[in-house]
A and B are shown apart, each in its own frame.
Chain A
Amino acid sequence: NAGVMQNPRHLVRRRGQEARLRCSPMKGHSHVYWYRQLPEEGLKFMVYLQKENIIDESGMPKERFSAEFPKEGPSILRIQQVVRGDSAAYFCASSPVGTGELFFGEGSRLTVL
Chain B
Amino acid sequence: AQRVTQPEKLLSVFKGAPVELKCNYSYSGSPELFWYVQYSRQRLQLLLRHISRESIKGFTADLNKGETSFHLKKPFAQEEDSAMYYCALSTGNQFYFGTGTSLTVIP
> B40: shortest Cβ distance to chain A, in Å?
13
**Most A C-beta atoms less than 10 A away, residue of B90, B95, B96, B98:** B95
- Among the 9-residue stretches A68-76, A78-86, A103-111, the one with 4 or more Cβ atoms under 8 Å from chain B is A103-111
By the criterion of a CB under 8 Å from any partner CB, how many residues of chain A are at the interface? 25
B66 at interface, CB cutoff 8 A: no
By the criterion of a CB under 8 Å from any partner CB, how many residues of chain B are at the interface? 22
**Most B C-beta atoms less than 10 A away, residue of A33, A42, A55:** A42
Please judge, given known A-B contacts A43-B100, A99-B90, whether A33 and B95 are in contact too, CB under 8 Å: yes
B86 at interface, CB cutoff 8 A: yes
Minimum CB distance partner of B92 in chain A: A99
B99 at interface, CB cutoff 8 A: yes
> A25: shortest Cβ distance to chain B, in Å?
14
Contacts of B9 in A (CB 8 A): 40
Q: Is the CB of B46 within 8 A of A101?
A: yes
Q: Is the CB of A56 within 8 A of B94?
A: yes
Q: Mark B70-107, 1 if CB is under 8 A from A, else 0.
A: 00000000000000001010101111111110000000
Interface residues of A (CB under 8 A from B): 3-4, 31, 33, 35, 40-45, 48, 55-56, 91, 93, 95, 98-99, 101-102, 104-107
